[in-house]
Amino acid sequence: MDYIKRHMEEEPALSSPGSHSGSEEEDFFGLMKGNVHETTKQLDAYLANSSTSMDILKSVPTVCNLSLKLNTPLPASAACERLFSTAGHIFSAKRGRLGSKSFENQLLLKLNKNYW
């Protein structure tokens, strides 16, 4: 929950179209003050809803924007290419009978060898 709240606080506040009053400085600082409370309210409303459809995201724009930001896969990344290259080296013709769990463990060990 803290991870999600921290990311939601980093997102810029979305102002409603009819909420322009006063100078631009007042609007800017007003958005900063109310942003944390509003995002927390939207997150609580989203978590309290038991609906399983994607339509609920349209009613909570901050959660929707965060969901799009964190759940959008990159089309081609170096990490993905590295993973498939390493997997190709592990799953060779000599290791054709390697089980899926053993293959996954060997892949994780090989890719994370800098951390042990």
User: How does pLDDT run across 7-44, given as a tens digit for each residue?
Assistant: 777 665 443 444 444 555 555 555 555 566 777 788 88
Residue 77 has pLDDT above 70, yes or no: yes
Instruction: State the average pLDDT over residues 72-89.
Output: 83
pTM of the model: 0.41
Alpha helices in the chain (DSSP H): 2-10, 24-48, 56-59, 61-71, 78-90, 100-111
Amino acid at 99: G
Instruction: State the average pLDDT over residues 37-65.
Output: 81
Nearby residues of 64 by Cβ (< 8 Å), 6 or more positions away: 57, 58
DSSP code for 54: T
Residue 81 has pLDDT above 80, yes or no: yes
User: How does pLDDT run across 82-105, given as a tens digit for each residue?
Assistant: 889 999 999 888 888 899 999 999
